[in-house]
Amino acid sequence: MKAYKEMSRDELLTLKAALEEEYKEEQAKGLSLNMARGKPGFSQLALSMKMLDEINSSSDMRTLLGNDTRNYGDLDGIGECRQLMADMMGVKKNNIIIYGNSSLNIMYDTISRSVTHGVNGSTPWCKLDKVKFLCPVPGYDRHFAITEFFGIEMIPVPLDNNGPDMDMVEQYVNNDAAVKGIWCVPKYSNPSGISYSDEVVRRFANLKPAAEDFRIFWDNAYCVHHLYEDEQDEILNILDECEKAGNPDMAYMFASTSKISFPGSGISAIATSETNVEFIKKQLTIQTIGHDKINQLRHSRFFKNIDGLKAHMAKHADLLRPKFEAVLAELDKELAGLEIGSWVKPRGGYFISFNALDGCAKAIVAKCKEAGVVLTNAGATYPYGNDPKDSNIRIAPSFPTPEEMAAAAKIFVLCTKLVSIDKILESK
Amino acid sequence: MKAYKEMSRDELLTLKAALEEEYKEEQAKGLSLNMARGKPGFSQLALSMKMLDEINSSSDMRTLLGNDTRNYGDLDGIGECRQLMADMMGVKKNNIIIYGNSSLNIMYDTISRSVTHGVNGSTPWCKLDKVKFLCPVPGYDRHFAITEFFGIEMIPVPLDNNGPDMDMVEQYVNNDAAVKGIWCVPKYSNPSGISYSDEVVRRFANLKPAAEDFRIFWDNAYCVHHLYEDEQDEILNILDECEKAGNPDMAYMFASTSKISFPGSGISAIATSETNVEFIKKQLTIQTIGHDKINQLRHSRFFKNIDGLKAHMAKHADLLRPKFEAVLAELDKELAGLEIGSWVKPRGGYFISFNALDGCAKAIVAKCKEAGVVLTNAGATYPYGNDPKDSNIRIAPSFPTPEEMAAAAKIFVLCTKLVSIDKILESK
């Protein structure tokens, strides 16, 4: 394939005319496809339906320790569910607190509590003039929304295939006491799909924060969300590494079963040092009498143990893989060599991150929408919705069928080509 | 019966010796009964077991509007569940936001958000030197724990059989801009069991707060929790009254199904003006992608509608009534005329509130514990756990069986007599 930038003005104009015809044909099909959010597809939801049979009116409602899940008690979660989440997150049961249905809610709570009450005895952030968070980019818009909501200044940090730019992270964290946290999706990152290298994780654990209340917000959302049985990323355990480095309390790890069982009806957990667990429980005991233990029992009995959960994730992978591959095949076939975009083939997670020519992302997303394909808003993967290069686009292939994904990907590459040609023509 | 204070020193000493023998006999039985918390009993939990059959692997998981409850969406709750909670709380569906499993958590969130973000645009409370809450006493310890956690100064307001002392409430609210809220359990109050009179509710609605961000925290926890079919308290609807009085945004109403279906696995909701609903949803959209809609569907299908829910509550009443009556019968039989304590016979709710002679509550609770009967800590019904008269004791009759309740009540009256005799002897 000849790179577009090597083409003459005339070549580009001829190509554009042909592509515009194609676009009109696609538009005429009247598609309506949504690739905006990491929403499991119908077939994925069906995988967990049998979980709903685990608990019925004749079930023994007691935990392994004999506690009645139907009544008050077990503030930090029932034992077997804490064990399951601990095994999934690679930590000990004592490091786990089970929350409600949403790990995002735990992250919100954790920041909210830091704002009103500080961190393990530090000054509440609301009493400080300035609080800053580092935000590896591209990243997860809902993380950025939380820090923005609390008036926390967000500083973008570039992410490469090994993780965030650690020179920059160290520079900020070790010198600026206003930097209180960093958002990380360390495995199958949202949206780039990359996983942090061992060196990156170790450099995180060995930070020497200027702020005593600096915390790593380690959103391990995709810890068991592989696409391939034989090609899985493994990352180092941040809690273990922090402990080794003499920073035992520096990291909060988050996870949920939202994309394992049911989004909105799953189980979420935080994993952190026992010191942090004790501090968090002091707030939790004020906030609630306990979370939904019947749902914890339902999950524990359905998955049985970490092996059961992993076997379940292999079924998810079988359903997701063809969708990812449909997009990747189209990108490879239609865009390779044109030098109008780059992407990484992820081994897990929920997204494909596409970097268009600078200044093209918004126009591509808009053009896709006109042809019935809705993508995440361009810019959403950056703090304040502001991608300074207007280049990154997040593709979420999970919800449509593989056939729909192929159709959507066709429109996506077509729009990318058309917008890129216009951009290149501007400078010819 | 002769009042203890009318008895001579000798009479009291003779009586005391006899009662001490009785106490020793009771103690020797080695009872272990807990009347500390408003925990539903086993037979009550059994009433809702069939709910667990409503949703299974072959269920249609869609709402009446066709939304899939298994996936993301419906941030403020599924329509049929909002309708059910609206009917239960006596409001319109548009005034309802469904949350997770705990109304206490909604109250915590509501205060936390006011601390960090203010109320509908007012100054965040964390930026103010002083924030105060009025606390009708005796009241609910978990309410007081939330305001204490946020450093809010709590001002006790006496409660009589019609509700809080409204002269005092008006005096504070209408003149002190630091007073931002008041905790109310308006129906079958925790712990006193009384319900607010129409005049009290109207005076609440007609407050002219000095603070624009003053809010009434109307915890309607026992809105359908009657003990008698034919003797039910009815209170005026605070949202309606506030609207009539030109204060449409002044009240937040809270409720849950914790004591209708399962504590910890129920549904909770806030009801408030549409203006407030919009403001709250702005935070909620940052905090979570949505609550557990499968559990909302389970509840909606089990109860079907408000009539189904009311029929269910009649079954709860049948189970709770004998327990309340066992305590009340013992109090009447053993303490009437002795002038060492007073109590109100509640028509609903979860508690019996007992006022001992001043300075006796802690000693009675301690003496009960030594005989195997655990009561709520004396003082818990007051802000900071400080009952200045050391008089109020909360009795929670729901968890033990009626027979156990009778045994526990026997010990309670015995301890009350013994401690009261000691108190009276001090002044003889």
Model pLDDT, residue A40: 96
Model pLDDT, residue B427: 87
Tell me the two tokens of residue B230: 């034919």
CB B331 within 8 A of CB B140: no
Check whether B37 has a pLDDT greater than 90: no
Region B264-273: what's the mean pLDDT? 97
Model pLDDT, residue B80: 98
Asked if the Cβ–Cβ distance from A112 to B112 is below 8 Å, we say yes
Check whether A169 has a pLDDT greater than 80: yes
Model pLDDT, residue A352: 97
Residues of chain B positioned with their CB less than 8 A from the CB of A101: 100, 288, 291-292
- B52 vs A57, A142, A264: nearest CB: A57
Asked if the Cβ–Cβ distance from B71 to A293 is below 8 Å, we say no
Quote the crossing angle between the two packed helices A166-175 and A198-205, to the nearest 10°.
Answer: 0
3-state secondary structure of A371: coil
- B262 vs A40, A70, A287: nearest CB: A70
Tell me which H or E stretch contains B34.
Answer: strand B33-35
Residue with tokens 């801009």: B177
Residue contacts between A and B (CB atoms, under 8 Å): 161
Kindly report the nearest CA distance between residue A60 and chain B, in angstroms. Answer: 11
Compute, in degrees rounded to 10, the torsion defined by CA atoms B24, B29, B35, B39.
Answer: 180
Region A199-227: what's the mean pLDDT? 98
Q: What is the pLDDT of residues A231-247, one digit of tens each?
A: 999 999 999 999 999 99
- Band (A428; pLDDT cuts 50, 70, 90): confident
Region B78-107: what's the mean pLDDT? 97
Model pLDDT, residue A337: 96
Cis-peptide into B138, omega within 30 deg: yes
Residues of chain B positioned with their CB less than 8 A from the CB of A61: 45
- What's the complex ipTM? 0.96
Compute, in degrees rounded to 10, the torsion defined by CA atoms B142, B148, B149, B151.
Answer: 160
C-beta atoms surrounding A298 within 10 Å: 26
Q: Which of B140, B229, B142, B132 lies closest to B172, judged by CA?
A: B132
Q: Regarding predicted confidence, which is higher, B371 or A1?
A: B371
0.90 exceeded by the pTM? Answer: yes
Kindly report the nearest CA distance between residue A203 and chain B, in angstroms. Answer: 30
Return the minimum-mean-pLDDT range out of A50-54, B30-34, B195-199. B30-34
Q: What is the pLDDT of residues A25-73, one digit of tens each?
A: 999 999 999 888 899 999 999 999 999 999 999 999 999 999 999 999 8
Check whether B281 has a pLDDT greater than 90: yes
Q: What is the pLDDT of residues A265-310, one digit of tens each?
A: 999 999 999 999 999 999 999 999 999 999 999 999 999 999 999 9
Check whether A209 has a pLDDT greater than 80: yes
B interface mutation test: which of A37, A47, A116, A268 has the most B CBs within 10 A? A116
Tell me which H or E stretch contains B163.
Answer: strand B163-164
Model pLDDT, residue A411: 97
Check whether A427 has a pLDDT greater than 90: no
Tell me the two tokens of residue B104: 């206490």
- Band (B76; pLDDT cuts 50, 70, 90): very high
